[in-house]
A and B are shown apart, each in its own frame.
Chain A
Amino acid sequence: MKLARRAALAAMLGAFSFGAQAADTVKVSVYQSVSDAGIYIANDKGYFKEQGIEIDVVQLDSVSSVVTALASGQIDVAGGAPSAAIYNSVRQGIGIRIVADKGSMRKGGGYICLVVRKGLEDQIKSVADLKGRKVAWSGTGIGTTNEPALDHMLKQANLRDSDLLLQNLTFGDSLAALASGSVDAAYLIEPLAQSAEQKGIGKLFMTGDQMYLDQQVAVLLYGANFAAKKPDVAKRFMVAYLKGVRDYNDAFVKNKDRAAIVSILTKNTTVKAAALYDKMVMPGLNPDGAVNIAGMTDDMKWFQSKGYLKEPVDVAKAVNMSFVDAAIKQLGQY
C-alpha cells in the first residue's frame, strides 16, 4: 500500500515536472516586415508555445549583422535575403543554412515594385522607355537580390544598368526622391509602392514577379549551432513557422480569417494601417516552405560575375530542407 502511494506520488511529481518544464527559448531576428508574417502569426496564435518554444525577438539591420549574430550564436534563427553576404559566409565555412522560404516573387506576390513618377506614365510605358532615366534602385552595388531583379527587368528590353542613371537609395529615401522629382522612377517595397500611388506621387509600373518570376528574395536561416545541437527544437520551430505561413496563405489567398491575420500583422510589422493590406501586393510565402534553388544558383552566378563572390558556391550545400521535410511529414502538404 505504502509502495503504491509512493509510486503514485512519484508519478504525480513526474507529471508536474514535465508540465513545468521550461520552454526552449529560440532567439529570432526579424525585420518587422510583412514577409516575417509566418513568425508573427505563429507567435501570436500560440503555435510556438504548442511546440514548447518561446521566441525571443531581436531586430538586426543588415544581412551582415544577421550572419555575424548567427555565426556567433547570438541568435538561432533569422530572416534574410539570399544575398552575396550569405553565399560568402557559406564559402568561408560559417555554418549558416537556408532552411525555408520567407518571401519570393511568386505570381501575384511580387511585393517589390517599380513605380514611375506621376506625370511620366505617358512617357514611360515600357522598360525600354527607362533608358537614360534617373531611377532609384535600393541595394545596388552591395550584392543584394535587388540587383539580379534589375538585371532581369532590363533584359526584357535589352538594356544594361549603365543605360539608366541609377541612384542607390534606401526604400524610404527612394520614395522621398520620387516625391521631390529627383528621380523618374523608384524600386519600392510594399507598402511604399501602394503609398506612392495613394499619395499621387507615382504609378505602379511593374511588380516584382513581372520582373523576375519566382525570385527568392527572403529566406529563413538557421545558425550552425542551432541546427546541429538542437535539431529537435529546430524541427519543432519549423512546424510552428509553417503553420503560421499557412494561416497567412489562408488569409490572403483563400480569404479565410483575414481580419485576424491583418490584426496580427498591423500589431507586429511596420505596416500599421489595416486598409493597406487590401491594396498592397502581399509577399509570396510558400506554405510548404520550399525555396527556389535553381533561381538562387542563377543569382549566385550573377553575383560572382559582378565580383561580389570571389569563388562560386554550391547553393544546394547552403540549403538544408530536412527541417521543412520533417514538418511536412507532420503537417502534410498544404
Chain B
Amino acid sequence: MSNEVRISAQAAKGPSLFRRLTASHGFMAVASPIVLLLLWEVAAQARLLDPRFFPAPSSVLGELVTLTLSGELPINLGWTVQRVLIGFVCGAVPAILLGLVMGLSPLLNALLRPTIAAIYPIPKIALFPLIMLIFGLGETSKWVIVGIAVFFQVFFSTLAGVVNIEHIYLDVATNFGASRWQAYRTVALPAALPFIFTGCQLGLGMALIVVVVAEQFGTKLGLGFMIWRSWQIFEVRDMFVALIVVALLGYGSQLAMLALERRLVQWKPKSGSQEVKT
C-alpha cells in the first residue's frame, strides 16, 4: 500500500522544470537568442571581444533607443520597408501569373523555362549596375532589383505547385466544363497556394538581402545605407543597430507571411507551416 502512495506521488511530480522548458519549442525559440546575447554581453564586458569592433548588446540597445527617438532609425526603416514592399509586389505578381500559366501550358513551359533557368543562377546584385544604367539612380532601380530577386523564388515555387497538382483535379474540372480561366482560379491557384507562400517567404528574405546592398548606391536613406555609412564613418554601434533591425525585419516579415498563409490556406496541415518556418 505504501508503495502505491510513493508511485502516485512521483507521477504527480512529473518531469523537471528544466525538461519541461527545453521541451517547449516556444521557450527555446526565445531563449536561444537571449543566451547568445548574454554570452556576447559577458564576452564584451570581460574584454574577450574588443568592444570597439563588437560593442556589447547593452550599448547597442542604448544606441537603438537614441536612434529611434531621434527619428533616424524609423525614417531609414520606413524607406527600406517601402522599397521591399513595392519590389516584392513587382516581382511576386508576375511570378505567380507566369508560374500558373507555364504550369498548365507544356508548350509555354518548354519555350520559356530554359531561359528563366539560365538567368536564375546569376547573382541578382551583379545586375544592379546594369539596372541603374537602364532605370537610373532613383527608386525605380531599387524596386526593379528587389522585384527580380523575388520573381525567381516565387516563380519556381508556383511552377512546382502547379506541376505537382494531381491530374485528376484538372480532369474533373475539364469534365465539368470549366473554362481555362476557371481551371486557373479554382484548381491551379488554390492547389499551388502553399507553394506560392513558401516562395513568397523565400522571396521576402531575398528581397531584404538585395535591398540592403542596393541601398548602398545612389541613396542616403534606408537601412542598407545606414549600415554602409556607419561602417564608412567607423560608427560601429550604429552599424550593429541597423543589422539587428534588418534581422528583426526579416523575422517579422516571415511571421507575417505565415499568419497570412494560415488565414488563406486553411486546408494546409500545420506541419507544413512548421517546415516552412525552419
Contacts and interface: CB of A to CB of B under 8 A. Distances in A.
Interface in A58-87: 62-64, 67-68, 71, 83-86
A86 B53 CA distance: 14
**Residue in B137, B218, B228, B229 whose Cβ sees the most chain A Cβ within 10 Å:** B137
Given A167-B218, A168-B218, A168-B220, A142 B52 contact: no
A143 B233 contact: yes
Interface of B is mostly: loop
Interface string B213-235: 00000101000010011011111
A62 B232 contact: yes
B234 A89 contact: yes
B97 to A, nearest CB: 34
Interface string A213-242: 000000000000000000000000000000
A84 B233 contact: yes
Interface in A87-102: 88-89, 92-94
A168 B225 CA distance: 12
Contact of B233 (A83, A93, A94): A83
A88 B53 CA distance: 12
A141 interface: yes
A298 to B, nearest CB: 18
A272 interface: no
A308 interface: yes
Interface string B182-224: 0000000000000000000000000000000000001010000
A85 B52 contact: no
Given A68-B53, A93-B52, A141 B229 contact: yes
Contacts of B228: 142
A88 B55 CA distance: 14
A169 B228 CA distance: 14
B234 A84 contact: yes
Given A93-B52, A94-B52, A141 B234 contact: no
A133 interface: no
Nearest to B52: A92
B235 A310 contact: yes
Nearest to B238: A310
Contacts of A167: 137, 218
A22 B233 CA distance: 38
Interface in A25-77: 62-64, 67-68, 71
A283 to B, nearest CB: 22
A85 B218 contact: no
Given A68-B53, A94-B52, A142-B228, A88 B218 contact: no
A141 B220 contact: yes
A85 B53 contact: no
A88 B235 contact: yes
B220 to A, nearest CB: 5
Interface in B130-153: 136-137
Given A167-B218, A168-B218, A168-B220, A64 B232 contact: yes
Nearest to A94: B52
A68 B50 CA distance: 11
Interface of B: 52-53, 136-137, 218, 220, 225, 228-229, 231-235
Rank and list the top 3 A-B pairs by shortest CB-CB distance, nearest first.
A85-B234, A142-B232, A84-B233
17 contacts: A63-B232, A63-B234, A64-B232, A71-B53, A83-B232, A83-B233, A84-B232, A88-B235, A141-B229, A142-B232, A143-B229, A143-B232, A143-B233, A144-B232, A168-B218, A182-B136, A309-B233
